[in-house]
Structure 1
Amino acid sequence: MFTAYWTTAPGRGELRTEPERAPGPGEALVRTLRSGVSRGTELLVHRGEVPAEVAGIMRAPFQEGDVPGPVKYGYLSVGVVVEGPAELSGRRVFCLHPHQDRYVVPVAALTPVPDDVPSDRAVLAGTVETAVNAVWDAAPRLGDRVAVIGAGMVGGAVAALLRTFPLERLELVDVNPARAALAEALGVTFRAPQEAADGCDLVIHCSASEEGLARGLELLGEEGELVEMSWYGTRAPRVPLGGAFHARRLTVRASQVGAVAAARRARRTTADRLAVSLRQLADPAFDAFLTGRSAFADLPATMAALADDPAALCQVVQYP
């Protein structure tokens, strides 16, 4: 039997078994080593806070059931191929699969994990892929002054990538002073919103808050650009387009991981983008995002604890 984690109702989950099956043509059987829980979409599902009108948009690739539950949901899984094509047999792979001890998926859904990327760190691949797409969208230039607003998983991953660019200035901005520890681990300057430097060429907004969006526009210099990564669900945040917005010729542009950034779409597939993201995880600085570890058997209790822990970033789930 396969065993998987299901959210059964808002705030509650359990492990359930299901019949196992052998892989067919073009498929592989994966034994899970690690999976990851981030504080973003997955905890919205756990708390039953996904609006019905956007539930379809938020479906995970191998989700079963529907929100608010029962639903099998998740998208950060690292395992080893135990049955499948010879070129993948015995190799570690990343898959956008829910928390489950073993599973069968199409081979095309698997991306090999580089040898120099530990399995714990590899669960971050989905988040880093979102950040890679944002960097492709934003296209920072030599000597740019950049602010990333929102030091959660996505904002932190964007800052982690940008810290290797030849920028004049990079600041990670958040209202939570505890996020200074993440910035320090990445070697990036941390600022509270009121302390952030203005005159930015580029602001990447990841806080999912009206206040963060407004502050991001304030930080831009003349003809600067804000790349909006936040997902607001059914909320309709006010955007300050009055005042000097037009006179300063500011730009607000969306970035979303569902499609490869337009600047790379003709030459990169989503599989290419995920492979790029996994290679970035050879950098040990990404270990700063791994704020907890727990056993798969304890996942129902772990999910409840994470919902009440604002300091958590990514929880690593370990499998026997």
Structure 2
Amino acid sequence: MTISQEQGTHGPVKAEAYWVTESGHGELRAEELDAPQEGEALVRTLYSGVSRGTERVVHEGRVPERVADLMQAPHQEGEFPGPVKYGYLNVGVVEQGPRDWLGKTVFSLHPHQDFYVVPTSQLTPIPEDVPARRAVLTGIVEVAVNALWEAGPRLGDRVAVVGGGLVGGVLATLLRNFPLGRLQLVDADPEKEKLAQTLGIDFALPEQAKNDCDIVFHCSASNEGLKLSLRLAGDDSDVFELSWFADKEVTLPLGEDFHARRLTIRSSQVGAVAMPRRFRRTNAERLVTAAAALKDPLFDTFITSECLFRNLPGTLVKLFERPGGFCHVVAYPKPEE
């Protein structure tokens, strides 16, 4: 769908958005947008991204009621478990709005929708040397940036990333540029060694992973992964938890490594800027940092599948039924289409 001449530049705009309607199902719904007001922009979406872990939890209706309000996406409509319009990886081009924004490629924490109106303060300009398709990863890189600000890796540190999924892989991609003493990607899936080779870093299966780490980042969203992270952490060190377990319960042997070696498990949650930077960086500045990091073409590694927006309802059902892959990209119609 595109803006027609009949809709003009100041009247309502017709749009379509993806909604989760019930557990495991979704549909495209039409809506009408008001023209952008002062300080707002109308954005035509180029690509959106599907973060398999979080969006699968939403699709399956597994967002815990206790934290439902905290887990809302910035531009979400509806309530968990549904119907709900959810998503937070959106890249588009500004078609109406302030003159200095017109034509800019921007990232927004917006759901899957072909047109939308938001304040320009909620848009992140994408650098000209970052392709729009790759820029859907801005929200994922932001998670990794926040974790790095939280942990503060130092010269010569021994670091492990446990879990080679999308978040863990993106985090490892950033960490490879740090002057570390050791960096290891740890995963139970031997296929993830290919990812480590692409990134140029060391890989280990759980039984081969090196311990006595200064920092361990846990990204596997699994009980066994968190247990392993505690074993790999050195005395008095920190395990940074980036996973969202949703409604899954976790059992840990706290009488072993955790207690005896005085370890700390710290949550790294992107809803707020990491405490070491909270008084000197805003959420918007964190997103700018993430977008700039995407100039590295290595991040294309994490875009592994694509579909057309009109096919999204059926594609997501199949996507969540099979494991594997990183970020799924949704392509939207061009004006000439």
Separation in 2, partners of 1:39, 1:94: 19
Q: In 2 relative to 1, CA 17–194 (structure 1 residues): closer, same or farther, beyond 3 Å?
A: same
CA displacement, residues 263-306 of structure 1 (integer Å, 9 cap, x when unaligned): 11111101000000000000011111101011111101111111
Aligned-pair distance for 1:244? 4.7
Aligned-pair distance for 1:91? 0.3
Q: 278, 297, 304: which one pairs with 1:291?
A: 304
Separation in 2, partners of 1:298, 1:189: 38
| One-letter amino acid of the counterpart of residue 233, structure 2 | L
2:252: which partner in 1?
239
1:273 is paired with a residue whose SS is: helix
CA contact (8 A) 1:32 1:319 kept: yes
1:41: which partner in 2?
54
Q: 85, 97, 121: which one pairs with 1:84?
A: 97
Residue 143 (structure 1) aligned with residue 136 (structure 2): no
Q: In 2 relative to 1, CA 300–218 (structure 1 residues): closer, same or farther, beyond 3 Å?
A: same
| One-letter amino acid of the counterpart of residue 120, structure 2 | V
CA contact (8 A) 2:154 2:180 kept: yes
CA contact (8 A) 1:114 1:279 kept: yes
Residue 102 (structure 1) aligned with residue 115 (structure 2): yes
Separation in 1, partners of 2:235, 2:73: 39
Residue 212 (structure 1) aligned with residue 225 (structure 2): yes
Q: 254, 259, 273: which one pairs with 1:260?
A: 273
CA contact (8 A) 1:178 1:311 kept: no
Matches within 5 A, 1:1-320: 1-320=14-333
Separation in 1, partners of 2:311, 2:320: 15
Aligned-pair distance for 1:313? 1.1
Provide the aligned C-alpha RMSD in A. 1.3
Aligned-pair distance for 1:14? 1.1
Q: In 2 relative to 1, CA 141–22 (structure 1 residues): closer, same or farther, beyond 3 Å?
A: same
Q: Which runs of 5+ in 1 are unaligned?
A: none
CA displacement, residues 30-86 of structure 1 (integer Å, 9 cap, x when unaligned): 000000001111111112222223222211111111222221111000000011111
Aligned residues: 320
Task: Provide TM-score, normalisation by structure 1.
Answer: 0.96
Q: Which runs of 5+ in 2 are unaligned?
A: 1-13
Percent sequence identity over aligned pairs: 57
| One-letter amino acid of the counterpart of residue 61, structure 2 | G
Separation in 2, partners of 1:244, 1:73: 39
CA contact (8 A) 1:33 1:79 kept: yes
Separation in 1, partners of 2:69, 2:257: 38
